[in-house]
Structure 1
């Protein structure tokens, strides 16, 4: 394969950019990625070793004078077994590049192409595998989908909002803003990871100030990518929330201020009724005729 044709193959499997002097190869999930590595002399009888950086370096592909991971050489990491190949007809031109088939999100990261017997010559690069998201219209390739926003609850403190992102890579940063662009206080984000993708949830409680429109912003600084979703909260929800508090305090005030007065009025009423009953009893006694006394013989006048 000639050099111009080789460049064409590379361009079809992704694209290469330079950042701070290092190469970045970017492909969509499920496609093939070619990681370039070449020197100015034949590598047919050389040793070159591809590794993936991380907490624990992973063996991606090793070639040693004709022996390699695809023809019996042991040591390849399970993540790459059966998925990595080289270009045998290009070895005489110094081409030690490899192809990773059916890329996955977990393939993203830093890689090194190392020639231990040529003064420790090493090439560095970064592979970025963009997730492919699906919606009703079909497949959409992108770093992260638009976040999902919703009203979670209405409390005495305000309206509770939830922002959620699923299947993002690399790990995104979420934040809530009002319509003026002010960043709102929020709870600590809940983050989980599965198969190299991140699921992030961020909640905040908002109150009625100068706006009822709020935005959840998702940012991936490594990719210089940002997306957002906006939610508008009905003013009635804020009224209901504050009204509930006002009613509660009003009831407390009534309980503290009116109750003693009501008790005093009740006691006075009981006393008034008792007085009326006593007076009524006396009046009835005055109206009754005096009882007739029996006459004695001394009371008779002839």
Structure 2
């Protein structure tokens, strides 16, 4: 799989870097992520530790990986570059990255038991895509203890959640009232994420997580897009034309990972079309006598069929009752 995320390698000289991590954005689910880290010198007989939010997730050194120190969340999905150790390359690759992988990563280099360098990376999600009526977790992580720090969540200019050390102030906006919560047990590790209960398509949009100092000034902010996708049913229309029957399959409000297909009675694909924006339209001409129907596949969400139409060899055609053929198959998202 193509590596879609890349950070410029930084050469460390034995000094610990500042507290501000380099920021990376996870732009798509299931992409491979390269977390780059390089130290000056040969690492083949040294020890390198990667941790996430203060917890060790991957340790390698003395030419081998310590299996017991590979975190279960990343098992079989994380690796380093053995051939690059001689030149100081301590980078790792995470395959099929998930929303749960976002957080603060640290690359630590140890020589003779002493820490010689530190490199921090803040992996944030640029999007969250879920099915309608599922709970949406919007990730936001800072590299500090947030127990006594104020942070604010907004959608556009509307406050939907505010936390400070005097208590939690939830949104009074009717759309979010009673539906937004946070993770109090994870504040010490810098987790300012929130959960929106039973997300609706109306909840889709750009959200902002802001950290606010004691003077009430914004110190930093993170942006994330929430995409709530509903299981859409396609529509089918037919028009008799001179050379046959024109079939039009349409659906609105679909995800980009959708596909519309026109199929015949045996399930063979006659024509297929990908979406443009949030809509998808398939328009084609059929001349062969057969039963035809439209199939909308929304990846990880559902598959929906339309009613079948019968195109005879003559001029006429008719619709088979949709109640006989319409079905919906829900699929798992896999996060």
Give the TM-score taking structure 1 as reference length.
0.45
Q: Higher Cα Rg: structure 1 or 2?
A: 1
TM-score (norm 2): 0.42
**More helix per residue:** 1
